[in-house]
Every structure is written in C-alpha cells, then in structure tokens.
Structure 1
Amino acid sequence: MGFEPPQRLARTLGERYGDGAVAEWIARLPTLAGQAAARRGLEVERVVAPGGMSSLMVLVRRPDGSPATLKIAPPFAAPELQRAALAHWKGWGAEELLDPAGTADDALLLERLHPELSLRSLPEAKALLEAAGTARRLWVEPPEGHRFETVADRTARQAAELRAAAAADEPAAQLVPAALETREELCATATETLLLHGAFRQGKVLAGDRAPWLAVGPDPLVGERAYDLARLARDRAEDLVAAASGPSSARRRITRLADSLDLDAERVRGWTRYRSVESAMRALRAGRRQAGEVLLEFASWL
C-alpha cells in the first residue's frame, strides 16, 4: 500500500514522543497499513488527509461491502488502552469498535463517521451544548481490572517538565507555579474515579449516521469529570483572545459548562488553568510560539 504519510501526523507525534521513535514508525507506516488491511480482508479507499494528529486514518470497505475506518496508531501511543475504552463504551457516546477482540497489530477497525464535520462547524453555543451531552455519556465506571492511568499519575509526570520549562521561559514563570499548586490541590481533594476521554474537545466529536454526534480519538484515563472538561473549555481560545470580551467570555463559558453537567465550576476552572498552562509550555518547547502565548493569556484570565 503506497502513500505519503500526512505531514501533520509526523509533526504532532514528534512533538509528543520525540522525533527518533516517530521517524522509524512513519517510515514503516505504508507497510503497516497494508498489512492491517489485508489481515482483515479490507478494501482500501483512501487515506484521510490531513487526518488524525496521533494516528493514520484509512477509509476502507469490509468484506461485506460496509464502510469502516481503519486506524493505525504507534505502539508507544498505547492503542490497546484506546481499544479498551472504546470496547467498554460499546458505541455509547463514542465511535463503535468493530473488532473488539482485536488482531495481532495495533490497528483499530472503527465505524465510519464524517471526519469533515465536527462540532467546530457549529456556532459556539450549539457546539458546547452538544459537546456536554456527548461527554455525559462517556463518564461511566471503568471496567474491573483496567490498566488506565489516573489523572493524578498523568499530571504528576507532567509536573517535572513544567518546572523545567518555567525556569527556561520567563513569561511563563509566573503562571507555572500557580498551575502546579492548583493541580496538587485538585488531586488531593478529588472524589471521583470515572472513565474519561482524556482529550475531549469540539474537534474530537464528529457527525455520524448511527447518532448525530460521537466522540473519537480518546486518550483514556480515570479520574474526575472536571478534568475532562478542561480542554473543551478552552476551545477556540484564539477567538477569545482576539475579542475585547475574551476574559469575561472565558469565565462565563466555564460556568455554563459546569452548570450544564452539575459540576463544581471552581474545579473546572482549576483544571482548565492547569491544562492550558501545560499545553502552552509544550507548544513553546516545540517552537509553536503563537499557540503557546495564546494559551498562556487564556490561562491568565482564570
């Protein structure tokens, strides 16, 4: 199977996992995709471009002619955990896993959605309403014996990197200590242990045929629901930063989201502040200065 892997995929994976491991996997990607399709008896239609930011998406036909999507993720991105989360949700609020038993590779066979139509295509108020309804379906008790990371463990790994980044970047030095303090307080007082999407935002909710909107691309972990709203709360941050009413609009958005899902607005605000600063520092380290500065300004409002 010959194709040129999407550039966005190589760039975003390299930023997260390091260029060395990613370059080797990217070079093997056409072969891996061809083998995964052949193993399942799939007819390949086309590679989705620009596609996902952490995996290759290939539109395929199953042996019975029905449409599906083949997702190829690198092993260091723990696709087995994504498989476990999707299998547990069984299509409730999320894309359906069509091969729950799996095969001898890291590929996932998923129901075909409409990648060109996400919640970002809707007006903001409608998008947030639909997103809240989708997220509510995903927050369930995790399966027994699960291997999902906890919010406390994931954010603890990020803390050391944040401290080092703050020392090297003066504009962020004022925000990082406060974000880390907030993270410690939230982890110490958390009382929920639910299965979370982990990367939930408007772009991760696509239009479907089985249901109007379904979540895709989880980075699953377990913890409190407020953590899962943090990425959604800062969606379209660049628009907020460009508006004179940005600070007040951001705070109102967090309050509305929390109220619509019966959550503590202060916990949603705290996780939004922490995750915005953490994302900003990653963006700055990767040379995406504008994106990092937008997120830092957003975080400063909270």
Structure 2
Amino acid sequence: MSDSNNSSFSASAFILIGFPGLEAGHFWLAFLLCSLYLFTVLGNCTIIYIIKAEQSLHEPMYLFLCMLAAIDILISTSTVPKMMDVLWFNSTTIGFDACLLQMFCIHSLSGIESTILLAMAFDRYVAICRPLRHAAILTTPSIAKIGLAAVIRGVILMGPLPIFIKRLPFCGSRVLSHSYCLHQDVMKLACADIKVNIIYGLIVIISAIGVDSLLISLSYIFILRAALSLTQEARLKALGTCISHVCAVFLFYVPFIGLSLVHRFGKIHGSNVHIVMANVHLLVPPVLNPIVYGVKTKQIRQRIMGIFQRFTR
C-alpha cells in the first residue's frame, strides 16, 4: 500500500482497501462477510422457492419480491467475494476492466432494484386505492414487462458510467476508498477534468433514485388518504400489507442517498463514514429483506417453519 502513489502500479489496475484501522481484524471480518453472504443467498433463494411453490403467493407483490430477491443475490455476488479476497488474502489489486465491470454491475443492479421497489409501491397503490382494477392492471404479462423495463432502464442509465471512466487518464494514486469499485470513487482518481462524470452522475441520481423515491412517496400519500376513509379494521389490514415494502424502501434509499451525499459534498479523507455507509448500502438490505418479508408474510413464515421442522426431525 505504501507504493500506491508511484509508477510501479500499472495504469490497468486499481487498489482496493479493507477497513482502515481494523487491519488486524480483517481475517475475522472476512468470516462475518462470508456468513452474511451465505445468509443472503440462502435467505433470498428460500424466498424465491417458497413463492414459486406456494400458489397463494402468485400475486403481483410477491412476484416483484422474487425479482427483488434475485437482484439482492446478484448485488452481493458482484461485491462480497472480492471483498473476502481482499480481507482474507490481501489481494487488493483489481484489473481496470474488472473494476469497470463490477462498477457497472453494482450501479445497474441498484438502478433495477430502485425500479422494482417503485413497481411494488405501484402495486400497493392499485391494491388499496383501485382494488377492483388490481387484477386487470397487474396481470402476469404486465408484471413481466415491468421487470424487463426495469432491467432495460438500469442498463441504459448506468451503461455510460464505465464508458466515461474508460476515457479518463489515471496518472497518480490508484487506491480506491472502498473494497469494490464505485463510479464516484474511481472518477476522483483521474488526472483530468471529470465534469462530465459529475454531471452525468447527478443526472442518473435525479432521474433514477430521485424520481423513484418521489413517486414512491406520492404513492404512499395516496395510500394513506385512501386508508383514512376505511374502517379501522380495514385500515389496519390495508396498511399492514405495506409495512414490509416500507422497510425495504428505507433499507435501500437511506444508505444510498446518504452515501451519494457523502461522496459529493463530504470530506471523506481521514474519515471512515463513507466506508461504513457504502458497506451498509450493499450488504445490509440483501440480508434483511428476506427476514422482513419472512416475518411479515404469514404464508412465507409458515413454509419456512415447515422446512425447519422437516430438517430437525
């Protein structure tokens, strides 16, 4: 790491870091990451299996949940294995093209997840505010089209990010401030004008995360207004179907927006706040989403209990 600022590092590679100040505990932190990754894969695969097997869960909300679970697995797979490699084996070098690929996967999958969360909010809006039209609006073909649109949107919006990085020269430090590659982190190492990268990054944040979070907020304003006109029992039942989604929204957007603000406006040198927020953003939601939906969804909870009972007999 001490040679990271000299010319011995190839222009075709970057240097990743672990957790500054906790180098002595990297070996054990890797075990924690490994456990989180295994729980992410197991938990989300279980959610997908149960929804596929349980006929009563073949509804729009849970079909979108399957998409969310698949995205969480892919996001974790694109980041955690390399992080464990850094912590366990001190393999801090990542090739330039590999860094761009990881960057594209992280940002595009995040964009897709944001769109799926918006689709889930739309599902709750239609179910509560337009219940008689719910089945007609959110048919299986329309859900498949929404999922495809989410993928296309994520790829189109985030695709230019690695292209803009590819055109930049890097002649100084190659040391990134995370254990994986983020656009806002890599572009700061360039020894050239990065105004285009900054502007496009802001456009992506506003047009994707900003618009999605605004529309989700509006959908819940309409949901609350519609719920207030119901009886108390019906109101609690309607709002109860939204709790899991609200938790997933907060788990995704709060760390994401916080990390973006820290990178753009905060002074990150000498502070580990950005590292903590980045790891929370990518590692925590994939772990907690299956728990939230498992606890709040009766059918999923019962199937999980049945699986455990079969294994413990």
Higher helix share: 2
Q: Determine which structure has more spread, i.e. the larger CA radius of gyration.
A: 2
Structure with bigger strand share is 1
What is the TM-score normalised by the length of structure 2?
A: 0.26
Question: TM-score, normalization: structure 1?
Answer: 0.27
| Structure number with higher relative contact order (C-alpha < 8 Å, ≥ 6 residues apart) | 2
